[in-house]
Structures are given as structure tokens and as C-alpha cells.
């Protein structure tokens, strides 16, 4: 497959030559949270056929953005991971996520898929380092069938999949409750009060959770939306 190019000697154009094709940035989004097997990527990216997925992964390998690895025991299966160059796209993708929450996300449309694991980058994009100054805690989020963890260390955060060992606080809710929370239609306290979420663990750690993530206020892009 011939690679298209903007044919411009410009850093932005050269970057878009590498990651501007459809699905490419979403593949990088998936790999930013850790290595993934081919089947994991296919399951997360519904609508991306096997042939195109293979082509996109080969492109990322060829351009030095991803590489093949073997997962450690007990899995010992082939997977894909980002290179240093691929990892450094993380801040740009977080900025796109912040912009999208403010200007593009809106309500969920009919037929749109959602995976709680996408919340890993969403939460990281909304993290407020100032609110986490001096805090060291591990939060575990159980959203539907997915388990995510956030490790907060004095103004920094690391998000990843899987259970924490051990967590200081555990928050549990289903996908619909999480979507309502992420859209700013409710708060964690309201979800707990309505019985749609539960929280357990260190009370002081739980009390600080509400200040750690600040969702952008959604804004309309057009005059029609504002009306």
C-alpha cells in the first residue's frame, strides 16, 4: 500500500504523514496503555477489519512507532508495544482528548461503541496535578467488566489496566453510570447516594478523589448548537 504524503517540509505535515491515516491514532491510543495482542486491538476497534489492522500495524512498525514483543509469562504470546517515538505521542493524544471532551464529545450517538478501558486516557487527560500535590494513593476503578487503576504520586498520575495490589480505595459502577459521570451529568457522590456506585477504602483518600479530575465544560462549536 503506497503511503500518501502532503509533500510539505513542515513538522506538522510530516507528523500527519505518519499518523494521519484513519485508525492510526486510535491504534496508538490503545497501545499507550500497554502492550496489546492482535486480538485485543481487533476487539477494541470494532469496524477495523483484519487486513487493514495488519496494514496499519506494519506501517507503525516500519515507521518506528511500534514494535513486536512477546508478553511475559504466563501469557508468552506475541503482542505490539510502542517505541520511544510512539510513546512521545501520548501528550498530543491527551490534548486531543481534552479538546474532544470540550468541543466534540456531546451525547452518545446510537450505534456508538464504548469500552471502559478508554477511560484510562480520559481520566489522565482530566487530571489536575495541583489537587494531587502531596497525595500518594492507589485508586481502583471497576467499571462493568473492566478494572482500571490510578497511581497518584505527589502531583503525577499513572493509569493502567488491571487490579491494584493493593488499592487504597475501590470505586465500582456500571458503564451507564460511568458515562453519566464522564459527561458531567452527575457526581460520584450522587451516584453513591442513588445506589448506582459503591466506594470503599481509606476515607481520606476517597475524600480527595473528587478534586483530582476536572472535566472540561462542554461548549457548542456552531451557532446552531448554541441555539
For 130-160, the pLDDT digits (tens) are 999 999 999 999 999 999 999 999 999 998 8
CATH (domain of 148)? 3.30.1050.10
Rounded CA gap, 173 and 210, in Å?
15
Percent share of the chain, pLDDT over 90: 70
Q: Can you give the pLDDT at residue 217? A: 86
Within a domain: 222? no
Q: Evaluate whether residue 101 is within a structural domain.
A: no
2 belongs to a structural domain: no
Q: Mean pLDDT over residues 48-69, rounded?
A: 97
Any domain includes 111: no
Last residue of a domain, one of 71, 88, 105: 88
Question: Is 116 within 8 Å of 144 (Cβ atoms)?
Answer: yes
3-state secondary structure the chain: CCCCCCCCCCHHHHHHHHHCCCCHHHHHHHHCCCCECHHHHHHHCCCCCHHHHHHHHHHHHHCCCEEEEECCCCCCCEEEEECHHHHCCHHHHHHHHHHHHHHCCCCCCCCCCCCHHHHHHHHHHHECHHHHCCCEEEEEEEECCEEEEEEEECCEEEEEECCCCCCCEEEEECHHHHHHHHCCCCCHHHHHHCCCEEEEECHHHHHHHHHHECCCCCCCCCHHHHC
- Average pLDDT of every residue of the chain: 92
5 found inside a domain: no
pLDDT at 2: 63
> Quick check: is 167 in a domain?
yes
Does a structural domain hold residue 94? no
Residue (of 46, 37, 97) closest to 70 by Cα position: 37
- What domain count does the chain have? 2
Q: Are 127 and 208 in contact (CB under 8 A)?
A: no
Query: Residue 58 sits in which domain range?
Result: 11-88
In a domain, 60, yes or no: yes
Say yes or no: 196 and 135 in one domain.
Answer: yes
**Same-domain status, 145 and 188:** yes
Q: Is the pLDDT of residue 10 over 60?
A: yes
Q: For 152-205, write each residue's pLDDT tens digit.
A: 999 999 988 889 989 999 999 999 998 888 777 888 899 999 999 999 999 999
Check whether residue 82 and residue 120 sit in a common domain.
no
- Sign of the dihedral through C-alpha 52, 60, 68, 37: negative
Examine the domain organization and report whether 83 and 124 are in the same domain.
Answer: no
What CATH number is given to the structural domain containing 73? 1.10.10.10
Answer yes or no: do 128 and 76 share one domain: no
The pLDDT value given to residue 49 = 95
Q: pTM, whole model, 2 decimals? A: 0.87
Amino acid at each position: 500500500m503506497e503511503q500518501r504524503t502532503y509533500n510539505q517540509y513542515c513538522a506538522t505535515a510530516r507528523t500527519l504523514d505518519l499518523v494521519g491515516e484513519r485508525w492510526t491514532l486510535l491504534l496508538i491510543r490503545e497501545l499507550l496503555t500497554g502492550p496489546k495482542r492482535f486480538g485485543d486491538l481487533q476487539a477494541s476497534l470494532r469496524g477495523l477489519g483484519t487486513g487493514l489492522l495488519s496494514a496499519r500495524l506494519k506501517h507503525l512498525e516500519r515507521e518506528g512507532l511500534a514494535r513486536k514483543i512477546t508478553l511475559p509469562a504466563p501469557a508468552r504470546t506475541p503482542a505490539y508495544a510502542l517505541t520511544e517515538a510512539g510513546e512521545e505521542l501520548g501528550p498530543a493524544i491527551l490534548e486531543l482528548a481534552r479538546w474532544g471532551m470540550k468541543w466534540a464529545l456531546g451525547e452518545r450517538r446510537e450505534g456508538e461503541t464504548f469500552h471502559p478501558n478508554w477511560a484510562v486516557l480520559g481520566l489522565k487527560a482530566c487530571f489536575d496535578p495541583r489537587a494531587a500535590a502531596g497525595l500518594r494513593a492507589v485508586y481502583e476503578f471497576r467499571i462493568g467488566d473492566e478494572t482500571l487503576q490510578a497511581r497518584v504520586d505527589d502531583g503525577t498520575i499513572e493509569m493502567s489496566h488491571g487490579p491494584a495490589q493493593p488499592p487504597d480505595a475501590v470505586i465500582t459502577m456500571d458503564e451507564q453510570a460511568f458515562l453519566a459521570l464522564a459527561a458531567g451529568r452527575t457526581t460520584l457522590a450522587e451516584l453513591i447516594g442513588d445506589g448506582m456506585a459503591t466506594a470503599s477504602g481509606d476515607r481520606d483518600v476517597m475524600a480527595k478523589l473528587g478534586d483530582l479530575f476536572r472535566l472540561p465544560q462542554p461548549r457548542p462549536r456552531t451557532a446552531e448548537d448554541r441555539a
